[in-house]
Amino acid sequence: MGLERADDAGVYRLNDEQALVQSVDFFTPIVDDPYTFGRIAAVNAFSDIYAMGARPLTALNLAAFPVKKFSIEVLHRTLEGGLEVIRQAGAVLMGGHSIDDAEFKYGLSVTGVVHPDEVLTNRGVCVGDLLVLTKPLGTGIVSTAVKAGLASEEAQSAEIAIMTELNDRAAEVMRGFDVHACTDVTGFGLVGHALEMIEESPVGLRLFANRLPVLPEVEKYCTQGLLPGGLHRNRKFREPLVQVASDVESWRLDIAHDPQTSGGLLITVPTEQADRLVSQLQSAGVAGATIVAEAVASPAGQIQMVS
């Protein structure tokens, strides 16, 4: 599988029974605690593997660390947090690479395995499908409120809990369904990643604004103008492809464009399977699982956002 689809990971077919799935992701700290940062970065890296329908096998650490700026203990704690997640995912740490850099960055290169016939991509949405999101939105907005010193302890705790939650249970549950397409929701926001799923296809989406699951207090932060720069960039870039009904509240549009860190999976299934998928996800502990959109014939390649 090549680079033409902007998919979540690369797939290399080994034989008729196995294909390797590989991805890499790293970023700068978004929380103060190094151990928590390590966990978040690792969870985020594994999401691409789960979105392709694969099971993770191995991981490599990637670290850029300012050795003259921070104590080496900061790096050690970050790596410990990442290792906890690697073990939780059932993968093996194979080593890694670090460099001295002016800015701290950490993440993983992850390899997984999948049967070639069971690879999931971010294309294949069919008219009549329903789209299920597995985590609440708002991590970018809450992080902005944290930086401004205005986020409550409840909002911060909820955000960290979501960002450190592997998508493994969601990936395991969806294997029992006829998944037409899947992706994970990260920096481009829900709208951006949803549009990637229908790009150059004869399908459009109707996005249900009032059904979008959100983190605590996000509405308040939106009304206070605590919006990350990435949200504005996402909205400006995708604005021509999004029709917004007049009764959609502005803060819900913000949520739909909010860049996510370690977000949930966006899973597309036939209509008749969607309620059962949500029920099984919730029973498996994926409490935020919600039907957020439906695929429609027109306008193709665009999103209609309704209340």
Question: Are 150 and 82 members of one domain?
Answer: no
Per the prediction, the chain carries an average pLDDT of: 96
Question: Are 111 and 50 members of one domain?
Answer: yes
Range of the domain at 108: 10-118
294 lies in some domain = yes
Structural domain count of the chain: 2
Whether 12 has a pLDDT exceeding 90, the answer reads: yes
4 lies in some domain = no
CA separation for the pair 9, 24 (Å, rounded): 8
Higher pLDDT, 297 or 5: 297
- Domain end among 71, 93, 118: 118
- Calculate mean pLDDT across residues 145-164: 97
Question: Are 248 and 299 members of one domain?
Answer: yes
Query: Can you give the pLDDT at residue 8?
Result: 78
- Please say whether the beta carbons of 21 and 8 come within 8 A: no
Q: What is the pLDDT of residues 196-207, one digit of tens each?
A: 999 999 999 999
Q: What is the pLDDT of residues 85-104, one digit of tens each?
A: 999 999 999 999 999 999 99
Question: Are 49 and 144 members of one domain?
Answer: no
- Please say whether the beta carbons of 294 and 180 come within 8 A: no
Q: How confident is the model at residue 234 (pLDDT cuts 50, 70, 90)?
A: very high
58, 116, 176, 207, 240 from 235: Cα distances, Å: 36, 36, 35, 15, 9
Question: Are 293 and 146 members of one domain?
Answer: yes
Whether 5 has a pLDDT exceeding 80, the answer reads: no
Question: Are 185 and 284 members of one domain?
Answer: yes
Q: What is the pLDDT of residues 250-282, one digit of tens each?
A: 999 999 999 999 999 999 999 999 999 999 999
- Domain of 15: which CATH number? 3.30.1330.10
Whether 2 has a pLDDT exceeding 90, the answer reads: no
- Domain of 140: which CATH number? 3.90.650.10
Question: Are 100 and 134 members of one domain?
Answer: no
Whether 232 has a pLDDT exceeding 70, the answer reads: yes
- Domain end among 118, 147, 166: 118
5 lies in some domain = no
Which secondary-structure segment (H or E) carries 305? strand 303-306
